[in-house]
A and B are shown apart, each in its own frame.
Chain A
Amino acid sequence: SQTIHQWPATLVQPVGSPLSLECTVEGTSNPNLYWYRQAAGRGLQLLFYSVGIGQISSEVPQNLSASRPQDRQFILSSKKLLLSDSGFYLCAWSRVTGNTIYFGEGSWLTVV
């Protein structure tokens, strides 16, 4: 069976510090990978998606970047965090020919 893991689960970072959230998928190959952000009262916002190693598409301009160094690894980064980067970040995956998206448990980021 397939599993998705993301870490850390919670993170408190000062403004201006860097960020790295990591996500890995097990039990499948060549998945589509996604990063979403969930801000309070604003639903889920698609930040990045990837259909293969090194292939990243950004949905919105922002202070964040994503990378996919390996087939089943997806990393969300920032060089300098802003207060507005606070939120709940969700990694997700889907099969290339599948029709369902599966989510990790999420990472709470608080920028102080």
Chain B
Amino acid sequence: AQSVTQLGSHVSVSEGALVLLRCNYSSSVPPYLFWYVQYPNQGLQLLLKYTTGATLVKGINGFEAEFKKSETSFHLTKPSAHMSDAAEYFCAVSEGNFNKFYFGSGTKLNVKP
């Protein structure tokens, strides 16, 4: 069985500060991992994904995430927050057959001026 845990339902950072959103997963097989962003009243957009290969994955808008198998983690980071980064972020995991994608409960990022 798979599950995703996002630590912190709300994270607040100042503009220009480091963004760190945490995600831990459990999976019985090598996972495929994703981060999605959701702006108010919209669907989810893919930020980045890890399937195989390099464990440090770069995505859109300056975000990146690192797959750490030993820690079962896939934390999302961005060196310098922008006001436009304020949104809700979801971590997700799927198994190799891709038929099911499971999402964490989400983390709302607030960026203070």
Contacts and interface: CB of A to CB of B under 8 A. Distances in A.
Question: Are A and B interaction partners?
Answer: yes
A36 B101 CA distance: 10
Contacts of B105: 41-43
Bin chain A's interface residue count.
20 to 34
A103 B106 CA distance: 16
Nearest to A106: B43
B103 A49 contact: no
Interface of B: 6, 9, 32, 34, 36, 41-46, 49, 51, 90, 92, 94, 98-106
Contacts of B106: 43-44
23 contacts: A32-B98, A34-B101, A41-B105, A43-B90, A43-B103, A43-B104, A44-B90, A44-B103, A46-B101, A46-B102, A92-B44, A92-B101, A96-B98, A99-B32, A99-B94, A100-B34, A100-B46, A101-B94, A102-B46, A103-B36, A103-B43, A103-B45, A106-B42
Interface of A: 32, 34, 36, 41-44, 46, 49, 51, 90, 92, 94-106, 108
